[in-house]
Amino acid sequence: MSQKEKFLEVAKAELGTIEEGNNLTKYGAFTKHNGQPWCGSFVMWCAAQVGLKIPNCVWTPGGVEGFKGIGQWSNAATSKPKPGDIVFFDFVEGGAPVEHVGIVIKDNGDGTVTTIEGNTSPEKKAKGSQANGGEVCERIRGYRKDNKKKIPAFIVGFGSPKFKD
């Protein structure tokens, strides 16, 4: 099994994990950021389980800059996302430029991707916080504004890790 496949398996195995208290998780404990929003800590924890080196995504704007700095970034408008890519979101207009991160599981071929994200809300509870919802969930997210499912496109872009295969 390749490193990318292992990375995706690790993320999938965490589906349904719920924080133990206000942003308290094994992911936050791992990154020494327990008690803070943990989407980036989830991504970092999954990467560490398979020895994958990626820019630090705990502070999501720093993760974007890290991927840009090593030439492994693509904007949503021009991207062709792949399984294993790290996906960055901007849900709050006028707020931080990026406040959430997850892992691409699949490009659905219609301007959307299937993702696994830590600290979001399940699809059935879509009114919950998308960037601080307290659970590891699988979601379908728009990355093209004209996607066929007419899902709002909050994805800013993708970081593409270099996997050992």
112-131 mean pLDDT? 86
The pLDDT score that the predictor gives to residue 129 is: 81
Paired residues of 77 in beta bridges = none
CA–CA gap between residue 62 and residue 98 (Å, rounded): 9
Write out the DSSP string of 44-108: HHHHHHTT------SSHHHHHHHHHHTT-EEEGGG----TT-EEEE--STTS-S--EEEEEEEE-
When comparing pLDDT for 132 and 147, which is higher? 147
The answer to the question of residue 43 being in a domain is yes
Residue type, 67: F
With bands split at pLDDT 50, 70 and 90, how would you rate the model's confidence at 123?
confident
Domain residues for the domain of 109 are 3-159
The answer to the question of residue 152 being in a domain is yes
The pLDDT score that the predictor gives to residue 97 is: 84
The answer to the question of residue 165 being in a domain is no
The pLDDT score that the predictor gives to residue 125 is: 62
This prediction has a pTM of 0.95
CATH number of 119's domain: 3.90.1720.10
The answer to the question of residue 10 being in a domain is yes
The answer to the question of residue 83 being in a domain is yes
- Per-residue pLDDT at 83 exceeds 80: yes
With bands split at pLDDT 50, 70 and 90, how would you rate the model's confidence at 115?
very high
The answer to the question of residue 164 being in a domain is no
The pLDDT score that the predictor gives to residue 64 is: 97
With bands split at pLDDT 50, 70 and 90, how would you rate the model's confidence at 126?
low
The pLDDT score that the predictor gives to residue 96 is: 72
**How many distinct structural domains can be found in the chain?**
1
